[in-house]
Structure 1
């Protein structure tokens, strides 16, 4: 059972997350997915090392949902070409490694997935300006 303080804190945290999502651009939403997946993987590793099996499993499942249901499903395999295809395969690999980490209590596999996500996240951060300029409407000059 949740204490009233815990329930209030959880509700407040949910509102903060929902507000961040509602006000985010598509670029920022993907950045939030990377952040959430990496946080879940890192926290699951801590729970694994501390023997908290239930929480470890919950967080690994959460990371798999973010990777498969957010990052992977967000790929446009038709328009994204070879890069989207490669990312799709890499996301499949990460989901498999997370399952293996959970089954074998292997923190090294969690670290591997976190590193892979970090590399892709760094690339995503590197294209922020390109994404922002492509998403902004063309400006029309009104001066004569």
Structure 2
């Protein structure tokens, strides 16, 4: 799988406790679930910021960062440039989430959501190749 280690993904997913679906999920599906978890938490933070619920926004952002850390730790070290590029993009997303927290800026959350959605779309697009 391009850039990710299935074993590492399963380990990270279990550690984050995102769902019971992991027992039967393929390594590819585990990465999809991590993306879904990160996006869900960013969306929760956006809603909380709009309601001016600073505590919930902070908690949701913290959880989104945890999931992104999980994605980073799931990267396959043997995938070369792809791993380096994905790691840099995830680091950027983490940095932006920290900024969103400090500034209480939902526009930054929207940026991170767009980036994660793009990555997830690409990952979803290779699902048929992984099954073959």
Provide the TM-score with structure 2 as the length reference. 0.84
What SS is found at the alignment partner of 1:37? helix
The residue number in structure 2 matching 1:17 is 19
Residues 1:73 and 2:73 are matched in the alignment = yes
The residue number in structure 2 matching 1:10 is none
- Higher relative contact order (Cα pairs below 8 Å, separated by 6+ residues): 2
* C-alpha RMSD over aligned residues: 1.2
The gaps in structure 2 that reach 5 residues or longer are: 1-17
The residue number in structure 2 matching 1:104 is 103
The gaps in structure 1 that reach 5 residues or longer are: 1-15, 134-144
Please state which structure has a larger fraction of its residues in helix. Answer: 2
Aligned length: 115
Tell me which structure has the larger Cα radius of gyration.
1
Deviation of the 1:40 alpha carbon: 0.2
Deviation of the 1:84 alpha carbon: 1.1
Provide the TM-score with structure 1 as the length reference. 0.77
Q: How does 1:107-118 map to 2 (within 5 A)?
A: 107-118=106-117
